[in-house]
Chain A
Amino acid sequence: MRKTGLLFFPAFDWAISPTHPEREERLLYTRDQLFEEGIMDLPNIVEYRPALCETKDILRAHFCVPNVEAHLTEAHFIAAGSSLVLADAYFNKEVDNAFAIVRPPGHHAMTVTHGNRGFCNINNESIMVEYIRKKYGLKKIAIIDTDVHHGDGTQEMFYNDPDVLFISFHQDGRTLYPGTGFVEELGGPIAYGTNINIPLMPRTTDYGIHYVLEHLIMPILEDFQPELIVNSAGQDNHFTDPLADMAFSAQGYAKLNSILAPDIAVLEGGYSVETALPYVNAGIIMAMAGIDYSNLKEPGFVPGKLTEPPGNKEYLDKIIELQKHNYFTRYEVVSELRKSLGDYKKEYTRVFYDTDYIHEEQKQQLRICPDCLGFKTIGSTAQQRNGKLYTVFCISIPIYACDSCQKLAREAYKDIIKSGHYDMVYLQDKVTDNYHIYDLAKDGELIF
């Protein structure tokens, strides 16, 4: 048995809208099941109280346009803050591992946020990872996204960071939101091979997911040797989920977590509120706490009834081979890329916010630095849900940036303000843990 920290925050008074999947009822039956089982009464389960995170915790990961308060409710501060409560519990060695059953979710939220996409405003895992790196000095962290949807937000946030390994398995993006997460998305030029996507065929069962876990994810983790494993724990691979089309079971989720053995798990999606979530959440807790879960079964589950889609094993073998190759040859690729790229890598992208129906355009630039990860800038334009149009400029200094990148980035911040071309200019200085927001209309700066 392990000591497992549990933070159950169902936000019984918060919803995106009354009939939205992300509504008050979402964790109601999970509450019923967990309370009725008496899981919280177990001596090795420690229940924690939720807490609000600070604005600064959010700014360590995000550029919120125009500011943090504009899009966030208290519930967002609590969901993110609760993950931090558990991070502290874990690093203070109060518990062996921890599970944040919180809502609203976060893994579709990207670095720049103009609103809600995929039910997410801010990225709970990324906020937690940045907090942990700052507070506890960790370097190598692995995030395994087990939600049925590709964790595109988390991918984007650590795309250029070879110290954060991001692995996401999900229903193939050609058949499900957000339409990304293909094997070609392997990471930025200096982080190539540390972003591993595993698109799965619809109706993949426990067998397929466990197969990928054992033959691809675990060998990569074994090699990467992260100091912390985070499970971005969506529950919508379940065979009853109304928004997706996979065939995972509660036992399947439990086994996944006992093999993966995450240090911290954070709930993401999962909208089969009555037939999946109560059992999947119980299963994850039991697996993490080292409790025998062989007696766990959701009412609709008939063993042997769900079968793998035809040809899946061959498909999975191919993906496993390909992604292993991509991961294990990554250093060679990165050194080739460094030679071929100039001082900066520039990119144009568009981001669509499905929930808030926003189209954002971005011009990104990454400094290719011989000594560190290089600082990054993002010019972003979007017309937000309330009709306001924002053109903003964001500068991010990585936490372990070299002196030269720090200096260039801080100069760029001053120059851009002087240029007067933007509504807002942001400097995210993770080295000094200072976050500058410059509002040109007011000609005023806020520093967090």
Chain B
Amino acid sequence: MYLIGIDVGGTFTDGIIMKSGNITASAKNATNNSDISSSILTTLDNLLAYVSDKKLIERVVISTTTVTNLIATKGAEPAALILLPGYGLPNSFYELGENCYFIKGSIDFRGNITEELSVSEIKSVIENIQVQNIKRIGVIGKFSNRNNEHELYIEKLIRETYPEALVLISSQVSNQLNFKRRIATTYYTALTYFEWQNFIEQINKALIARDISAEVHILKADGGTIALEASRNYPCQTIYSGPAASTMGGVALTKDSKNSVVLDIGGTTTDISLVIEGEPLYASKGAIIEDNYTHVEAFSLTTLPIGGDSKIGLLNNEITLDSRQDFAACFGGKYPTITDAFNLLYDLKIGDYQKSEEILRQLAIKENLDPKKLAETAINMVMESLENAIKEMFTRWEMEPLYKVWEVVNSRKFVLHRIIGIGAAANAIIPVLASRLGVNHFLSQYSPVANALGTAVARPTININLHIDTGENFYSVYPTGYLGQIKNSRNFSLEDAKSLARNHLAELVKEHNMEGYEEDAVFYLTEQFNVIRGYSTSGKIFDVGLQVKPGFIPEFTGVK
């Protein structure tokens, strides 16, 4: 059986094939950013050359920049947002994109309607959007995750009066607390929705053409995969899957429960992520898209504009580090780079050592410096930036807010055990950095393709969250936006809440084509509150969250 992983990066697209725990082949192609699908298929075709029988391909996982690029290049058609902010922060705080309409209608945290909709107002807003020929509409109401009646009504009205338009309601895109993040998540989903459907069609067609019937998954920002078909409504979840691929690659190569930092050091940039007791750390506020927090779960990530090809320069007698302009001199580049500095100072024999030495000497001579001294200073600058970024990430994690007594009493400090190096420039930089930090390091012959490995073996993840209010007799489900009623609300217990969550997870798992994984689900949130009115209990509120965490498919037991 073959497993295929393809990771589309900004510069290169990497792919690997795994067979019985061995990486049997890899491929690398330059990414064509204006046609991501072709980059994926070229790499896939390279890999297929090593496959004896296509029927033996069990699973293909793709980590793609399709959505990331679409947003970055602002290539999408405009979307309009209909917002129901109710009372609270000023409306201006919620504006996003060019076409925001604020309308009446408000719901409170317990799902009570506190202000009715105005049908005439909604109709005139829809007309306005139609006149401007905007075909993508997001509808987001404050507390729609507690009661989506208003959103559903507006959706229906749009379908009736403007059927050509795409309507997305926030309770079905991301049914979580945080109106502002629901706005952003719904907005970016609307912006990329049609393009994502196109991508799915292209991949499907290409696979049929190649006679591949394997299951196909997409890597998400949370380091888990989602079946290609199940991903249709969640294009934004595929954003930042590249760094997630690297982190999962680092964990796949080590597969233990140590505290690690994963550094993916490419030519241009370095991505840093934290792994705590073997589990990658999430960004507490979700993925940030164009400076907006979203409900897209993503790994906590710091990206530094420093890589192996960062250019070393001299300005007014000061050594400078500039962004990548070419390969390292030892690989035929025109400028002295960080890789050359390591080559010279540590005698690493990377590429053509003589060229590293020569180009750094030429630079040093200008200011009467010793080339080794110059290399050392430049390396120190890189090390300081990396060290500071790592320490800042620890601190940020240690400073995350907590809301319960036991969390505060049991809060931990981050003790680093190891640095895992990934990416082309890792071999030079990681050992030096680790010794400066006084910890071990890990490098592997597969470090350069760890991202594709992480992609190939990542398992599907899923997260389900129920808010249950027995006093108001309703419950709502994230991510589906399902609203249900509670039977037996008087005696409803935390155990009932948990089993309700398990039932909903079982359904969702079927939809997502990931049966069996529900057994690995763990409760990451179990809260219950007595609702007391006038000194007696009038109901209970439960918040329960159940999750299949990032991990690896059962077939993967480590790299041999």
Contacts and interface: CB of A to CB of B under 8 A. Distances in A.
B408 A297 contact: no
B114 interface: yes
Given A11-B404, A35-B178, A49-B401, A299 B114 contact: yes
Interface stretch (B83-91, B243-251, B340-348): B83-91
Contacts of B180: 37-38, 41
Nearest to B540: A25
A33 interface: yes
A49 B395 CA distance: 11
A39 B181 CA distance: 11
B300 to A, nearest CB: 15
B409 interface: yes
Contact of B405 (A37, A75, A294): A75
Nearest to A35: B177
Contacts of B530: 18-19, 23-25
Interface string A7-28: 1111111100011000111001
Contacts of A47: 401
B158 to A, nearest CB: 24
A291 interface: yes
A296 B88 contact: yes
Contact of A38 (B90, B114, B293, B408): B293
A141 B285 CA distance: 36
A278 interface: yes
A294 B179 contact: no
A36 B109 contact: yes
Interface residues on A, range: 35 or more
Nearest to A33: B109
A434 to B, nearest CB: 27
A41 B537 contact: no
Given A38-B178, A38-B181, A292 B90 contact: yes
B401 A8 contact: yes
Contacts of A294: 90
Interface in A361-383: none
Interface string B532-559: 1011110001000000000000000000
A9 B93 CA distance: 25
B527 interface: yes
Contacts of B408: 9, 49-52, 74, 78
Contact of A37 (B89, B409, B527, B532): B89
Contacts of A14: 405
B178 A13 contact: no
B179 A31 contact: no
Interface in A257-297: 274, 278-279, 282, 286, 291-292, 294-297
Given A37-B180, A38-B89, A41-B285, A74 B405 contact: yes
Contacts of B181: 38, 41
A43 to B, nearest CB: 9
A19 B531 CA distance: 9
A52 B409 contact: yes
Contacts of A274: 110
Nearest to A8: B401
A343 interface: no
Best-surrounded residue of B89, B411, B530, B531 (most CB of chain A within 10 A) = B89
Contacts of A298: 87
A297 to B, nearest CB: 4
B201 to A, nearest CB: 35
Interface in B230-269: none
B142 interface: yes
A32 interface: yes
Best-surrounded residue of B91, B93, B143 (most CB of chain A within 10 A) = B93
B108 interface: yes
B402 A49 contact: yes
B297 to A, nearest CB: 16
Nearest to A81: B408
B178 A41 contact: yes
Contacts of B534: 242
Nearest to A15: B530
Contact of A36 (B93, B178, B399, B411): B178
A413 to B, nearest CB: 34
B405 A11 contact: yes
A74 B178 CA distance: 30
B403 A9 contact: yes
A182 interface: no
B188 to A, nearest CB: 16
Contacts of B541: 25, 28
A24 B87 CA distance: 25
B401 A291 contact: no
Contacts of A50: 401-402, 408
13 contacts: A12-B527, A29-B109, A29-B110, A33-B88, A36-B178, A38-B89, A38-B180, A49-B400, A49-B408, A74-B405, A78-B408, A242-B534, A299-B114
Given A36-B177, A78-B405, 20 more contacts: A10-B403, A13-B404, A18-B530, A28-B529, A28-B541, A33-B109, A35-B177, A36-B142, A36-B178, A41-B293, A47-B401, A49-B408, A50-B401, A50-B408, A74-B405, A75-B405, A295-B89, A296-B87, A297-B87, A299-B108
Interface of B: 85, 87-91, 93, 108-110, 112, 114, 142-143, 177-181, 285, 293, 398-406, 408-409, 411, 527, 529-532, 534-537, 541
Pick the 9 closest A-B CB pairs, nearest first: A38-B180, A32-B109, A299-B114, A35-B177, A297-B87, A25-B529, A13-B404, A292-B90, A37-B88
